Amino acid sequence: MSGTDKLFAGSIPDIYDDCLVPLIFETYAEDLAARVASAAPQAVLEIAAGTGVVSRALAPRLVPGARYVVTDLNQPMLDRAARRQPPDPRITWQQADAMALPFADGSFDAVCCQFGVMFLPDKVQGFREVRRVLRPGGLFFLSVWDRIEENIFARRVTETVAGLFPENPPLFLARLPHGYHDVAVLRGDLESAGFGPVAIETVTRQSRAETPRLPAVAYCQGTPLRAELEARAPQDLEAITARCAEDLEAEFGPGPVSGKIQGHVAMASR
């Protein structure tokens, strides 16, 4: 994993939150929040929280006396999340590396992570850290994207930018967000980390946008794909985004546009 694969800085957090979150993350956040809340945890840790789409959905569902620690590796993303969250004394915002969590053993009843474990450089070690901070019987709720072919807008953008740079295609979306899609591998990694029963469900939704330009901006300018594009053509980010919008319009029409998204949601018991 390159350094740029984890770079969510500059204008990326704002574009990510304004464009990508409503496009693909909100519907899954509601689903994950409902699953976590159904366990009635008293102490919850969220890792790789991004700009807080899960925290906004989960906090209102938690019991009044719950403790909720929201973390992310990238401080700019966490800052955006904190600004968007209504005041809530139950929530603590803390920068943290999921590979070395700064919490004592057995600190939480539940840990959740929406579409973040794909970024862990060592999945099994990261899962061991989650298990370590869970109390006996605690639950780990997580989601990962299915393969890019099942996520239509991401697939279209990846094909377009690969066509623009055939000798060195920018493959961030296929490599990372959609690169950990094998359910058998996910289950095996969780079990290797010491988790007991693992339940995995494939969840399909629709991604919707008013115009084809919105998903083009979301992926090209609101994710680390941006760094790959700027490395290849430093002055052409807007032109590349426009080309992606044109190809999305050619495939899906001028808008509103809709395309399939699909992910896997897992629950693992300590």
pLDDT category, 10, cuts 50, 70, 90?
low
CATH value at residue 242: 3.40.50.150
Are the CB atoms for 163 and 155 separated by under 8 Å? no
C-alpha to C-alpha distance for 147 and 268, rounded to whole angstroms: 21
Side-chain-side CA neighbours of residue 108 (13 Å): 25
**Confidence at residue 27, expressed as pLDDT on a 0 to 100 scale:** 97
Averaged pLDDT for residues 16-21? 94
pLDDT tens string 62-114: 999 999 999 999 999 999 999 999 999 999 999 999 999 999 999 999 999 99
Tokens 């574009």, located at residue: 15
C-alpha to C-alpha distance for 210 and 215, rounded to whole angstroms: 9
C-alpha to C-alpha distance for 24 and 1, rounded to whole angstroms: 23
219 SS3 class: helix
Q: What is the identity of the amino acid at 82? A: A
- Give residue 221's domain range: 3-269
pLDDT category, 11, cuts 50, 70, 90?
low
Strand 91-95 versus strand 198-209 pairing type: unpaired
Total count of domains within the chain: 1
pLDDT tens string 181-202: 999 999 999 999 999 999 999 9
**Confidence at residue 85, expressed as pLDDT on a 0 to 100 scale:** 94
Averaged pLDDT for residues 145-171? 98
